[in-house]
Amino acid sequence: MPNTKTYVKQFLKWRYKHISNKTFVQLMSVVVGLLAGLAAVTLKNLTYFIESLLGKAIVFSDYQLYFILPIVGLTLVYLYTKFINKHPISQAIPSILLSLSKHKGLLSIRKTYTPLLTAPLTVGFGGSVGLLGPAVKSGAAISSNLSRFLHIDVKTRSLLIACASAGAISSIFQSPIAAIIFAVEVFSLDLTMLSVLPLLLASISGVLTSYFFLGNEALFNFSLTEDFQLGDVPFYILLGVGTGFSSIYFTKMYFAIFKFFKRFRSPKYKLLVGGLTIGVMLYFIPPLYGEGFGFINNLLDGNHIEALGKTPFDAFLDNIWVVIALLFGITVFKAIAMTTTLAAGGAGGVFIPTMVMGSALGNAVAKAINNLGLGLGVSESNFTLIGMAGLIAGVIHAPLTAIFLIAEITGGYELFIPLMITASISFLITKNFLDHTIYTKELAKKGALLTHNKDQAVLTLMELDDVLETNFKSVSPEMTLGEMLMKSVAKSTRNIYPVLDGENKIVGIVLLDDIREFMFNKDLYDTTFVKDVMHAAPEYIFYAEDSMKQVMQKFQDSGAWNLPVVQNGKYMGFVSKSKLLTAYRRKLINYTP
């Protein structure tokens, strides 16, 4: 019987003969959007099922289970990771960005199903993270493996991964336009007709999947009751400033907590410390449990008592300033709870916790304005929504995603102007203080970050191994001129010779121009040594340390045509400027749609 490879070959032959590449990409975008949407729906349903099972037990225990459940969830994730998955959990968006820049868009097949198991266990048992990141990760892995199975080229594979991400986001939020913009802003995708149509098809496919399985119920129960007033502009500017600095706090706290947890060498200590920390926070601040969509909806309904839940401060909730303080507390502690969950070994995303934090801040600011006793009045529900947009714009540096997402999930664009004001101010403040986001900081350090700057993106996609040349004849410092000519120059087609010591460390170089004037003077063959004519290289390239941008800069600064490559002090070969520029031009042609 024909095997799978035979069927694939037959399909590919039929496809090349009957379907154009453009049409095939569009069909594939629909498929990956559908599969990513299914992954997102599965993720949501599993999580809500676990939460519904545990909800009654939490109430029955008089909320004492808050101290235990996060540890249980993190332990289950740890056991799965150690004995079944056998690979550490990576953060969703950064791992996808790394695969696009350095691994040709290839993602392990394990990443298709691992997020569907680990994220519900984390969130369902109280982990204060979101489901968007795991949904995007699962959808991207599905798209990557399907593309590899069908022998799709690297450029198209990257586009389909972005399509899967758009499908997952569209399915979770039922916001197809924001999903497209997210793919463009976060994945640094070029917005051309070749990319827009597949993204649109994938986004539609994802949202239709959500409608089919979950109905057309809006994510947030919100009806606009108060229109935008011109007199509220100063308050929206204030909110933009507040969300901007809150975004900086969020980002810095994220990296500080991860740095703290690196002190624990054993994952067991991490989950124990992390689980207990989350449990204590949940007991005092119940809205930190899980994703937090219920908290946001209660704030939008004007029910802050229900939003805050049962806390040790219930007796003081008649005082509005206590409520405001608790809302600010959620703003502060949501970042801590989310990062602790991830650093302790949990699986989840950053995006939705950002929305929760923004909603709490926006509502608190509105309540503070309304209760200052100055006769001022603003819409608390509007500020709740716009606070979310401000945090999204600041934390992930995606202002357009923030604006269109909030506009879509609320079912209207009446708040477009205040959304633009707050999101743009928050983004500008955060961007001025932080060059990179939670998603991109570590990638930027490694030189593995794709950006909208095409030159930078092409250099990021290039690998040093692709331009490294090793066909150079080496010489030693003690070698005579005659030996050098006989053993190296006569047998080489290159005009540069690395001088290596006994440990294969480069101590200098000799150019053919350095010996050209006297290389035929036999009187010098036995009296002139390599160490007499060698000189230092104008610059060195450090393998696995220098990014391709740094390599290009070293050629520009030194004016050299060849530079040696070293790793841990050992000579590896040379990179020539001509080969580097040729590789750059080829990559640019392949990268450009």
Per-block mean pLDDT, blocks of 10 residues, the chain (593 long): 68 77 89 94 92 81 82 94 87 86 86 94 93 94 92 87 93 90 81 80 93 75 75 93 96 95 90 93 90 89 87 82 93 95 93 95 95 86 93 94 87 82 96 89 71 62 83 90 88 89 89 86 87 90 86 87 89 89 73 52
| CA atoms of 327 and 332, how far apart (whole Å) | 9
Tokens found for residue 279: 């449990």
* DSSP class of 379: -
Is residue 569 a contact partner of residue 505, using CB atoms and an 8 Å limit? yes
Buried b (16+ CB within 10 A) or exposed e, 302-328: eebeebbbebebeeeeeeeeebbebbb
| Type of residue found at 496 | I
Buried b (16+ CB within 10 A) or exposed e, 373-410: eeeeebbbbbbbbbbbbbbbbbbbbbbbbbbbbbbbbb
For domain 230-446, the question of CATH label 1.10.3720.10 is answered with: no
Alpha helices, DSSP H, located in 304-398: 304-308, 320-343, 351-370, 380-395
Neighbouring CB atoms inside 10 A of 483's CB total 16
Specify the CATH superfamily of domain 4-214: Clc chloride channel (1.10.3080.10)
Domain boundaries, the chain: 4-214, 230-446, 456-591
Q: For residue 225, what pLDDT is reported?
A: 72
Map residue 43 onto helix, strand or coil: helix
Task: Provide the CA 549 distance to its chain's centre, in angstroms.
Answer: 21
Q: What is the pLDDT of residues 257-315, one digit of tens each?
A: 999 999 988 888 999 999 999 999 998 888 999 888 889 989 988 888 888 888 777 78
Is residue 279 a contact partner of residue 71, using CB atoms and an 8 Å limit? yes
* DSSP class of 85: I
Map residue 311 onto helix, strand or coil: coil
Is residue 498 a contact partner of residue 474, using CB atoms and an 8 Å limit? yes
CATH topology agreement for domains 4-214 and 230-446: yes
CATH of 456-591, one of 3.30.360.10, 3.40.47.40, 3.10.580.10, 3.30.450.20: 3.10.580.10
| CA atoms of 123 and 353, how far apart (whole Å) | 11
Whole-model pTM: value is 0.82
Is residue 141 a contact partner of residue 108, using CB atoms and an 8 Å limit? yes
Q: For residue 1, what pLDDT is reported?
A: 43
